[in-house]
C-alpha cells in the first residue's frame, strides 16, 4: 500500500469529514479510496461506451398507471439478454419498487434504463453501473476420457 500526502482547503476537508461521518466511514483513507474508484469507473465508462459491465437499475413507479406494469415487463422481455434478475416489492397500495440486475454492453444497458425511466408513471429511478472486461475461459469437467471441456464467458470487474 502506498501512503500519500494531499493538501486540501479547510472548508473542503470539513465538508468531506462531515460526508464521511454521515456515511459511517471510520477513516478518511477508505473514503478517498472509494472516491478514486468511483471516478476511475466513471471515466472508464465514459471512454468505453461499447464496453461491457454489470448494473442495477432501481425505479419506483405507480402500478395503477394504465398498462405500465405490462409495458415494464415487455421492456424487460425485449432485453432478456441483459436482464439477470428482477426484484419487485410493494411500497404501498399504489407504489412499487423494482430493482433489475443487468449484465452486458454498457450502451445497451443505458438504452434499456432510459426506456424504462422514460415511461409515464415511473417516478424515480437510478442506474448504477460498473465497467468490466469479458473473459472467455475453458473449463474441464470429469476425469480422464470421460471428461469434457466447454467455454464460459465471465465478466471480470476491475477495481
Are the beta carbons of 125 and 59 closer than 8 angstroms? yes
pLDDT attached to residue 130:
84
Task: Work out the average pLDDT over 68-73.
Answer: 86
Residue 88 has pLDDT above 90, yes or no: yes
Residue range 35-50, pLDDT digits in tens: 888 777 767 666 666 7
Tell me if the pTM is above 0.85: no
Are the beta carbons of 47 and 117 closer than 8 angstroms? no
Number of Cβ within 10 Å of residue 110's Cβ equals: 17
Q: What pLDDT band is residue 113 in, cutting at 50, 70 and 90?
A: very high
Mean pLDDT over the full length of the chain: 84
What number of helices (H) and strands (E) belong to the chain? Answer: 4, 5
Amino acid at each position: 500500500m502506498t501512503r500519500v500526502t494531499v493538501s486540501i482547503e479547510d472548508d473542503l476537508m470539513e465538508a468531506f469529514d462531515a460526508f464521511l461521518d454521515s456515511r459511517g466511514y471510520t477513516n478518511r483513507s477508505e473514503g478517498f479510496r472509494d472516491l478514486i474508484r468511483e471516478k476511475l469507473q466513471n471515466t472508464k465508462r465514459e471512454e468505453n461506451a461499447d464496453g461491457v459491465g454489470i448494473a442495477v437499475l432501481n425505479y419506483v413507479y405507480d402500478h395503477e398507471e394504465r398498462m405500465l406494469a405490462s409495458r415494464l415487463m415487455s421492456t424487460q422481455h425485449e432485453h432478456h439478454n441483459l436482464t439477470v434478475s428482477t426484484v419487485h416489492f410493494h411500497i404501498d397500495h399504489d407504489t412499487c419498487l423494482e430493482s433489475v440486475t443487468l449484465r452486458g454492453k454498457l450502451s445497451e444497458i443505458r438504452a434499456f434504463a432510459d426506456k424504462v425511466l422514460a415511461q409515464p408513471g415511473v417516478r424515480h429511478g437510478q442506474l448504477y453501473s460498473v465497467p468490466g472486461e469479458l473473459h472467455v475461459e475453458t473449463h474441464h469437467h470429469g476425469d480422464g476420457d470421460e471428461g469434457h471441456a466447454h467455454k464460459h464467458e465471465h465478466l471480470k470487474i476491475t477495481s
